[in-house]
């Protein structure tokens, strides 16, 4: 079942 991903995988945390 697909799940919503996390933004950390796309945007660099600063």
- Please give the Cα distance from 14 to 8 (Å, whole number): 11
Give me the phi and psi of 9, to 5 degrees please.
Answer: -75, -15
1-14: which residues touch another protein (CB under 8 A)? Answer: 1-14
Report the nearest approach of another protein to the CB of residue 6 (Å).
Answer: 5
Q: How many residues bind another protein (CB under 8 A)?
A: 14
Report the nearest approach of another protein to the CB of residue 9 (Å).
Answer: 7
- Please give the Cα distance from 13 to 7 (Å, whole number): 9
Binding-site ranges for another protein (CB under 8 A): 1-14
């Amino acid at each position: 079942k697909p799940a919503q991903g996390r933004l950390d995988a796309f945007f660099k945390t600063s």
